[in-house]
Amino acid sequence: MVLVAAIAAGVLINTAGLLQTQAEATGEESTQQVSDRIQIQSATGVVGAENITRVNLTVTKAPGAGDIQLANLTYQFVTNDKVVTDVMETDDPANGSSVTRITADTEDNVITSRNDRYTLSFVAEDTLGGDLEGGERVSVTLTTAAGASTVTELRVPDSLVDRSAVSL
């Protein structure tokens, strides 16, 4: 009888340890999904033929976020008639997206500091299915590998006449 009680106690202790480990891992994942966000500092558009031909987003990491690998960043553009989802290309911008380092402590495409700034560039024809016209609105979602998302809405000014670039 004492032997059975000892075995049962051992099983309970092992189960409690396993549950604690799983709970810690779940907590860490949940924290990363909430805190490892990317922050959009500014959004600009390059004007060509009175349409937006390129969208540039200047980004950094949000306060409290860990390192963010931009090569694993998923983007989604939602226009009035299209939804485009893809992953940032840091080495081969064939899909119309590219990453440029503005200021960073490292030479790679990993945001390691709140002082790091990168430009995410999107060719409208390739990533949005066409140029953006004056007055158009686009919703942009950037999702890190940890699953944290940042959503912003870009608004194209009504008039793009005689402009080479605009703030979105």
Give the whole-angstrom CA distance, residue 168 versus residue 163: 13
What's the pLDDT tens digit per position in 82-134? 899 988 876 666 667 888 888 877 778 888 888 999 999 999 988 888 899 99
Give the whole-angstrom CA distance, residue 72 versus residue 35: 16
pTM summary value: 0.77
Q: At 89, is the secondary structure helix, strand, or coil?
A: coil
